[in-house]
Structure 1
Amino acid sequence: MWYFTWILGLLLACSLGIINVLRLEAQETWDREHIPLDPLTQLMSKDMMLGRLKEKVENSKRNGFPFSILLISLKGFKTRNNLPDHEMDAILRGVADCVKEDIRVGVDIAARMDEQDFLIAMPGSPLKKAEQIAVQIKNEISERVKAPGLVVEAAVGVAEYSAPVEEFAVTTNEVDELIRIATAKSGL
């Protein structure tokens, strides 16, 4: 008789898990359809990304999985602003395309942080995996993103956040510190 209770409990736990997964999928779909995007790159905006980073850090604290970010900055892009607008736009769209191709759809999130900087959040990815993706993106940008008479180079910094499971409060300083570390590692 006890096994019927055990099976019933197992079925209840499974159905609650399925309901939770469906709720999360519905939320992600709604988010994708209603997130303000950068009009040029079709990546998430900076403000939205900072909010999502806080969520990802909190999730990392809750579940104990690592969380990595990649900060991609175009080298010397500000000094090359004598390019026509359509060429600068093509460069930025090309970088965004490289970023979109190398992230895990539905897991990683990418944003244009300012004129020349992009940020990728990679929940569940340890530093080593993020460093591999960083090298891949950097190589793709230098190979595929072209402008007349210009070699487009990117500096990529990687940082990892991992926290003890018992901590739950996320502070703005943690997110800022994570971005600062990635910026320092990019060499900019």
Structure 2
Amino acid sequence: MPGKLLIVDNIATNRIVLKAKLSDVYYDVQQAANTDEALKRLHDTPTDLVLVNGHLEDRDSIQFCKDIRTNPRTSHLPILMLCNHQDRDTRLRALAAGVSDILVRPIDHVVLLARLRSLLRTHESAEEHHQRQKTTRAFGFAENQAGFKKQARIHLATPDSASSVRWSAVLKGMVPFKLVPKVHTETLKDISGAPAPDVFVIAVDSAQPDQALRLVAEIRARASTRNAGILVVVEDDHRRTIVDAMDLGAHDVMAFGFDPHEMALRVSRLVSQKRLSDRLRDHVNIGLEAAVTDPLTGLFNRRYALPQINRICLQSKSKRQQFAIILADLDHFKLVNDRYGHAAGDAVLTETACRLRDSLRALDLVARIGGEEFLIALPHTPALRADEAAARLCARIRDTPFRIPGQNTSVQITISLGVVMAGSGFKAKSVEALIEQADKALYDAKLRGRDQVRFAKIPA
């Protein structure tokens, strides 16, 4: 996985050796001999991850990492601290300052590369969010603030029930999360019938590590859980298990067994990362929905409808079935806007959309393609059924007056429809040609007095 890495170390030999190892596996590596140079590089050069000597000469290393984490420009960057030695207090202070993980020299090259791969995978979501924030600020839009946050759910999976219950009891007063203690063998059953946890904490049995590793792989493979955070807990700093866990998809590893304070810090960070990735997926889904739907009525728009009608054409041809395309237009709609205002017009359009949608089958397509114009497609529908459906739509609009919000009055609305048949038994035409024929039929309905259905005259 390529990435732009920055090594911050006062000792030239350390920088040179580490750069050589990382460059051999095609990382783009930059160096900084002191913290001032590092900050300048972070400001001037895009960076994906920072490797920091845990014993800097010109500044306290932990404070330097905290400064990186609290700077809005660099807060999303993963930080890997490399130390000559570490104790529990140093490790906890570093994690609290925002360090992603700490490795002790001599650095195990295989473990280092596995940790880099894991951190850079997670960094992709944070970087996307960071870039989107910059874009919204540049165009003067505020980033949507998170509203009520549902309590995160943490699944604690251990080889035996006593351990998971004990972990849960100890952590309960330290984190504001719902803790669910389970054994390995119950985990897959539990996640099959319950809401997916936000984070899995999986303890490794040193005598049977494969059981926990299979669990990591299974969680990553399932659609319902693949976006959850995974923290693997190893008792003996076992190199192979750590590497395998991260390469199978674990986001983080505790290499020295259960420590409630360390686990609280790591789990809290994973919950934050999970919420960030959830927000990004939500924004993508909202963007996709906005691209294919009409914001006023919630119906599909022309951009979505035309390719779908083309798909209906192809399916009807392969299955030798007929289908209908309907163009519908509200009659004298301009008078509603002129007499009652545009808010009333919007209310009429929204209600029209609801009535059309409620009067059609789930497989039918209805879209708003203009001001008061709607496009409807009825797959697997012969002419008689299309005529019945169109007449039903006409009556659904006509028979119930539309309420005008805020004015304590109602208005009678009618709709005209033009129908064209296609598919088996009809000459093949493009979607554009069919819509043009439906439009002519609609115009004919308007000429003949409105509030009616007219079929296009197409020879069989």
* TM-score, normalising length: structure 1: 0.71
Render the CA deviation track for 1:85-112: whole Å, top value 9, x for unaligned: 221011001111111111111x111100
Q: Is residue 2:313 matched to residue 1:57?
A: yes
Contact 2:401 2:410 in 1 (8 A): no
Q: Which digits, 9 at most, give the CA deviation of each residue in 1:15-61, with x for residues without a partner?
A: xxxxxxxxxxxxxxxx9xx5421111111011110111111111111
Secondary structure in structure 2 of the residue aligned to 1:81: helix
The yes-or-no answer on 1:136 pairing with 2:392 is yes
2:299 alignment partner, SS class? coil
Structure with the largest fraction of helix: 1
Aligned pairs (5 A) from 1:13-28: none
Which residues of structure 1 form unaligned runs of 5+?
1-30
Q: Indicate the residue corresponding to 1:160 in structure 2.
A: 421
Unmatched segments (≥5 aa) in structure 2:
1-284, 447-460
Once residues 136 and 69 of structure 1 are traced to their aligned partners in structure 2, the CA distance between those partners, rounded to angstroms, is: 15
Question: Hey, what does 2:344 align to over in structure 1?
Answer: 87
1:149 Cα offset (Å)? 6.4
CA contact 2:401–2:411 (8 Å) conserved in 1: no
1:103-157 residue CA offsets vs partner (Å, 9 max, x unmatched): 111x111100111111111110111111111111111101224244642110011
**Which structure: larger Rg?**
2
- The yes-or-no answer on 1:151 pairing with 2:412 is yes
Count residues in correspondence: 151
User: Aligned with 1:78: secondary structure?
Assistant: helix
2:399 partner SS: helix
Provide Cα deviations, 1:1-23, integer angstroms capped at 9, x if missing partner. xxxxxxxxxxxxxxxxxxxxxxx
| Superposition map of 1:1-188 within 5 A | 35=289, 36-82=292-338, 83-105=340-362, 107-146=363-402, 147=404, 148=409, 150-163=411-424, 174-186=430-442, 187-188=445-446
Q: Bigger shift: 108-117 or 147-156?
A: 147-156
CA distance in 1, matches of 2:360, 2:411: 26
What is the alpha-carbon distance in structure 2 between the residues aligned to residue 163 and residue 143 of structure 1?
Answer: 34
Contact 2:400 2:412 in 1 (8 A): no
Contact 1:73-1:117 at 8 Å conserved across structures: yes
1:93 and 1:182 mapped to 2: Cα distance? 23
- Percent of residue pairs identical: 26
Change in CA separation of 1:60 and 1:44 when aligned onto 2, cut-off 3 Å: same
Q: TM-score, normalised by structure 2?
A: 0.31
